[in-house]
Chain A
C-alpha cells in the first residue's frame, strides 16, 4: 500500500495511480462531495471527459461498472465497487467566481474546489495549468436531472463509511478536492474528511 491517508475538507490530493491499481475513496462521515479529475499519466491532454463518459454509456450517473472515459475515448479507470450507488458528473466543481453567481458576493472569499485543484496542480508542476481543469466527477454527490429539464441539488445519498473504488485501466494522474462548499446540501452544510486507500493489483 502506497496511499493511505485522510484528506480534510478544503484539502486535496494529487498522485499517480499505475495501471491495474485500485484506489478506494471513503466518505468517512457521510454526505461529502469529492471532486475528482483523471488524466492519462503520459499525456495530460488525454483527460477525463464528463460528456463523453455520459454519452457513451447513456447514463447520467456513475456507479459500479461505469467506465471513466477520456477525450480520446480511452478508458482511464473503471468503478469496480460502489456502496453508495450514484455519483454525479454534471455539476462540476465549485469556484469562488461561481459561488458569487450562486450565493452572492459575501461568499467571494470562501474556499472552493477550483482553488484546491489549482494549488494541487501547481504543486505537481509538469506544465499543468488552469487549461487542464475540466468538468469533473463529484463522488457521493446527488444532482438529479429530470425528464422535464430540471436540475436540483439533493441531500446526498451517501452515508458514513460508504466508499467507491476505482481501478486504473492505464497509468493515470488523479486529482482530488475534498469539497469545502457550505452553501448547499452537497456536503450536508458541514464538510467532513474522506480517506484514500490504494491496493496493489
Chain B
C-alpha cells in the first residue's frame, strides 16, 4: 500500500530534516513573500554522497535550478528531479545564511543547528539550493538579489534515490527587507507518478538522463 501523504508546516527562521524514499514527491509551498528555503541533499544510505551544485549546473548548462533539471550528487547520480514550479529561477550560487547575517540584524536563532542533530558538521555543508530566491548576474558578472516570490509559489521534486533533505527557512543573506518576517514553508511528501521514458527530466539533456540511469543501475 502506498505511503500516505504527509504535510508539515515549517515556520520562518527554523530548520527541518526528513528522509524521503525513492519515488516520493516533495512539494514546497511558500507561506509568505520572499521566502528562502535553503536546502541540502544527501544520499540517505551514505551522506558522504551529497548534492553537488557545480556538477548539477555545468552538466545541464544552467545558472539556476528550475524544472526539469536533475539535482546531481558528487558521484554523478541523480538525487532528485525538479518536476514543476511556479517560478523559473531558484538560486544555487549564493549559499545559506550564517548566524552572523541573522544575529547582527535580528538577534539569535537556531536555524543553523539541524545538521548537527544528524551527526553532520560544517565539513558536510555544501552549496545549497535556495528555493524561491533569485540572485541574477548582469553581463559583467555583478549579482543582484531580486524581488521574486510571493506566498503560494511552489516547487515539486521527485526523489530519485532515498534522500536526506535538510532545510532552513532563515531569510536570504542578501534580502534587504528591514523587518523580521521570514516566510515559512509547507512541506508535502506524497506519492509521485512513476517517470516514463518521456519524462521531461530524462529527455531534457543526455547528461540528465545519464545521472538518472546511474541510480537505476
Contact = CB atoms under 8 A, between A and B. Distances in A.
Interface of A: 45, 47, 49-52, 54-55, 58-61, 71, 73, 86, 90-93, 95, 97-98, 100-102, 104, 130-132, 134-135, 143-147, 149-153
> How many residues of B sit at the interface, in one of the four size bands?
35 or more
A100 B88 CA distance: 28
Contact of B127 (A51, A59, A95, A132): A51
A150 B63 contact: yes
Contacts of B214: 97, 100-101
A104 B214 CA distance: 11
A144 B58 CA distance: 11
Contact of A59 (B55, B62, B88, B141): B141
26 contacts: A51-B94, A51-B128, A54-B93, A54-B95, A54-B143, A60-B141, A92-B55, A95-B55, A95-B74, A95-B76, A97-B214, A98-B52, A98-B55, A98-B74, A100-B76, A101-B211, A101-B214, A102-B58, A102-B207, A131-B48, A134-B126, A145-B137, A145-B141, A146-B63, A149-B136, A150-B62
B54 A92 contact: yes
A147 B123 contact: no
Contacts of B174: 55
Nearest to B73: A97
A100 B212 CA distance: 12
B89 interface: yes
Interface in B30-70: 48, 52-55, 57-59, 61-64, 66
A45 B123 CA distance: 6
Nearest to B173: A55
A59 B143 contact: yes
Given A71-B122, A145-B137, A101 B72 contact: yes
B4 interface: no
Given A55-B93, A101-B59, A134-B126, 16 more contacts: A58-B142, A90-B54, A90-B93, A91-B58, A92-B53, A104-B210, A143-B58, A144-B141, A147-B138, A147-B139, A149-B62, A149-B66, A150-B61, A151-B61, A151-B62, A151-B63
A154 to B, nearest CB: 12
B125 interface: yes
Contacts of A98: 52, 55, 59, 72, 74, 76
Contacts of B94: 51, 54-55
B76 A135 contact: no
A101 B55 contact: yes
A83 B174 CA distance: 31
Contacts of B72: 98, 101
A151 B66 CA distance: 13
Nearest to A108: B76
Contacts of A145: 63, 93, 137, 141
Nearest to A86: B141
Contact of B143 (A60, A100, A130): A60
